[in-house]
């Protein structure tokens, strides 16, 4: 059976935006939840939203990564824009999976210090995801 | 040794992240091996009629080269990050296959950007480099 070679780019395009958007949304929800003027009930809702978005984002990385690997025929680095894309992708992938796992296990039982470290790593990971998305866009435009 | 929930969660998270990353690299190797074998099947020579170089074809290839290849192979094709393409000792079919499918870890695929007639023009241009 011969697979249409355009299947993987299409699947990668279809799947890759979910983890990018969800990582940023999780950083936004959890970032807002630590602001002083937020009421405790709204804070709890923001944390719950942050929890679900990061877990869904972590799950969403797997189809994105797999379709990307099929698209590049297993090339994990490459060069030029592809290299820059991957230099952002791999730490972002590990970060998102780790953060999603931690959040799924701790839920609302995170200590303030633990949550502060989580939030700092989440913001960095969201930035890495944005970088991966930017260089992914450069790949489409320039190749 | 008693670990708190936070410590256990951290350990599992690090393990999951590492396993995911490792799994991705193992998947990449498997996919690369599969793609490598299918590449051999896909790398059938282009029809000879498409590879007859003409001045027009070479000029067209030079234009595509400037747009997509000069960044790595140098504007004069004497090499930069990529190799010098003058007097290269590989077949036209292999040049076309490299352009079309890329070279793993070295060069991206241009299959989405260039169709066979355009690749034939690029091959004609590369072949004209002496």
Q: Most B CBs within 10 Å: which of A88, A97, A109, as the mutation test of the B interface? A: A97
The pLDDT-based confidence of B113 (bands split at 50, 70, 90) is confident
Within 10 Å of residue B101's Cβ, how many Cβ atoms? 21
Give the lowest-confidence range in A50-54, A94-98, B14-18.
Answer: B14-18
Question: Dihedral angle at the C-alpha atoms of B35, B38, B40, B44, nearest 10 degrees?
Answer: -130
Is a pLDDT exceeding 90 seen at residue B76? no
Tokens standing for residue A137: 């866009």
Find chain A residues with C-beta within 8 A of B34's C-beta: 74
The reply to whether A21 touches chain B by the CB within 8 Å rule is: no
Percent of chain B whose pLDDT exceeds 90: 10
CA–CA distances in Å: residue B119 to residues A6, A141, B85: 18, 19, 15
The reply to whether A41 touches chain B by the CB within 8 Å rule is: no
pLDDT value for B48: 46
- The top-level CATH class assigned to B48-128 is mainly alpha
Interface ipTM above 0.90: no
Give the lowest-confidence range in A53-62, B17-26, B80-89.
Answer: B80-89
The pLDDT-based confidence of A3 (bands split at 50, 70, 90) is low
Find chain A residues with C-beta within 8 A of B10's C-beta: 102
Is a pLDDT exceeding 70 seen at residue A97? yes
Domain boundaries, chain A: 7-142
Average pLDDT over residues A76-91: 87
Find chain B residues with C-beta within 8 A of A73's C-beta: 31-32, 35-36, 39, 101-102, 104, 109
Shortest CA distance to B95 belongs to which of B64, B66, B69, B127?
B127
Where on the phi/psi map is residue A39: left (φ > 0), alpha (ψ -120 to 50), or beta? beta
Determine the longest span between alpha carbons in chain A, in angstroms.
59
Shortest CA distance to B38 belongs to which of A74, A2, A67?
A2
In whole angstroms, what separates CA B8 from the centre of its chain?
43
Taking an 8 Å cut-off on Cβ atoms, the answer to whether A78 and B108 are in contact is yes
Taking an 8 Å cut-off on Cβ atoms, the answer to whether A109 and B5 are in contact is yes
Q: Give the nearest partner residue to A101 out of B16, B36, B104, using CB atoms.
A: B16
Average pLDDT over residues A34-62: 93
A97 vs B113 pLDDT, higher one: A97
Is a pLDDT exceeding 90 seen at residue A91? yes
pLDDT value for B66: 87
pLDDT value for A2: 63
pLDDT value for B92: 83
Average pLDDT over residues A52-59: 96
Domain boundaries, chain B: 1-42, 48-128
């Amino acid at each position: 059976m011969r697979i249409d070679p355009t299947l993987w780019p299409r699947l990668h395009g279809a799947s890759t935006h979910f983890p990018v958007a969800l990582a940023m949304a999780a950083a936004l929800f959890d970032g807002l939840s630590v602001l002083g003027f937020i009421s405790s009930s709204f804070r709890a809702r923001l944390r719950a939203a942050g929890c679900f978005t990061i877990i869904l984002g972590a799950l969403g990385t797997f189809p994105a990564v797999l379709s990307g690997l099929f698209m590049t025929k297993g090339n994990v680095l490459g060069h030029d824009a592809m290299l820059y894309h991957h230099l952002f992708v791999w730490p972002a992938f590990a970060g998102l999976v780790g953060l999603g796992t931690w959040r799924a296990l701790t839920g609302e039982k995170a200590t303030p210090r633990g949550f502060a470290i989580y939030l700092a790593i989440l913001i960095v990971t969201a930035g890495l995801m944005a970088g991966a998305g930017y260089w992914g866009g450069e790949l489409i435009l320039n190749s | 040794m008693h670990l708190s929930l936070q410590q256990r969660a951290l350990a599992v998270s690090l393990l999951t992240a590492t396993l995911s990353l490792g799994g991705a690299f193992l998947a990449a190797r498997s996919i690369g091996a599969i793609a490598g074998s299918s590449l051999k099947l896909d790398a059938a020579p282009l029809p000879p009629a498409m590879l007859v170089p003409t001045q027009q074809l070479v000029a067209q290839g030079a234009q595509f080269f400037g747009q997509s290849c000069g960044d790595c192979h140098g504007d004069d094709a004497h090499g930069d990050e990529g190799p010098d393409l003058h007097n290269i000792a590989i077949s036209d079919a292999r040049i076309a296959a490299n352009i079309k499918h890329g070279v793993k870890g070295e060069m991206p695929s241009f299959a989405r950007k260039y169709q066979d007639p355009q690749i034939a023009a690029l091959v004609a241009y590369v072949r004209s480099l002496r």
